[in-house]
Amino acid sequence: FLSPALILGYLGVTGEVNMGQVFFKLGLRVVLPIFIGQILQHFVPPAKEFVKQYKKYFKTAQECCLLFIIYTVFCKTFLQGMEASVGQIFLMIALQFFMLCVVMVLAWTCLRVLFRNEPKLQAMGLFGCTHKTVAMGVPLINAIYESNPMVGLYTLPLLIWHPMQLVIGSFVAPYVPAYVKRREEEISSTVQEEKSADGTTSGGLDETTIQDEMEQGVVEDKTDS
C-alpha cells in the first residue's frame, strides 16, 4: 500500500487520482483474494487437496487471466494513441537493463558482507531483492491509472523488467549454485580445521598436565625415601 503513494509522488499527478478508490480497488483485487485463499488453505482441507491435485490447471488459468488483462490494457492504449516513440521505448529498455544489473551487483555485494557464511541466503537474495511480479504490479497500476489513456505505457516497464529478470537469471544461474557449493565446502573445511586445532590444543594441555603430575609424583617418592 506504500507503492501508490510513491508512484504518485514520483510522477507528480496526485491531483488526478482518488487515493481512497485506489486503496479500495487494491483491497478488492489483491488483498481479498489472498485473504480468502489463506482461509481455504488453513481451514478447508478438501479445497487445499483439490487445488494441489489440479495445480497445473490453476496455474495455466492464472497465466491466461493475466495475459488477458495485459492484452486489454494495451488494446486500450493503442486505440487511444501513444505518445512514446520507438527510440524512447528502446532507451527505457537499456536503462532498465542497466538498473537491474546495478541493483543485482549491489544486492550481491551487501549480502556477501552481511551474510558472509550463508551462501544459500546470498543466492536467494540476489534474485529476491530485484524481483518484481507482474501478477501484483499490473493490478496495482490498473487500480491507480484505470481511466488514464496512458495506462499501457505505464505498464510497459514492468512487462519489460520481468522477462529481463528471467534472461539475466538464466545467464547467472549456472554460476550461482557452483559458488554456493564451493563456499559451503570452504566453510565446512574451516570449521573442521578449527575443531582439529582445538582438539590438538586440548590434547597438548592434557599431556603436559600428565607429565607435570608424573614428575611431581617422582619428586614426592624421592622425598619420602
Segment 124-152, tens digit of pLDDT: 888 888 877 777 777 777 777 777 777 77
**How far apart are the C-alpha atoms of 206 and 139, rounded to whole Å?**
70
pLDDT at 7: 66
Bigger pLDDT: 220 vs 127: 127
User: Rounded to 5 degrees, what are φ and ψ at 13?
Assistant: -125, 35
Q: Measured between alpha carbons, how far is 10 from 8 in angstroms, rounded to an integer?
A: 5
> pTM to 2 decimals?
0.64
- What is the structure's pLDDT at 159? 79
Burial class (CB in 10 A: 0-12, 13-18, 19+), 216: exposed
Please give the Cα distance from 140 to 118 (Å, whole number).
34
Tell me the range of 78-92, 115-129, 197-211 where mean pLDDT is highest.
115-129
Q: Is 156 exposed, middle or buried (0-12, 13-18, 19+ CB in 10 A)?
A: buried
Q: How far, in Å, CA of 172 to CA of 100, rounded?
A: 13
> Please, are residues 121 and 110 in contact by the beta-carbon 8 Å criterion?
no
The pLDDT of residue 200 is 58
Percent of the chain scoring above 70 in pLDDT: 77
pLDDT of residue 214: 52
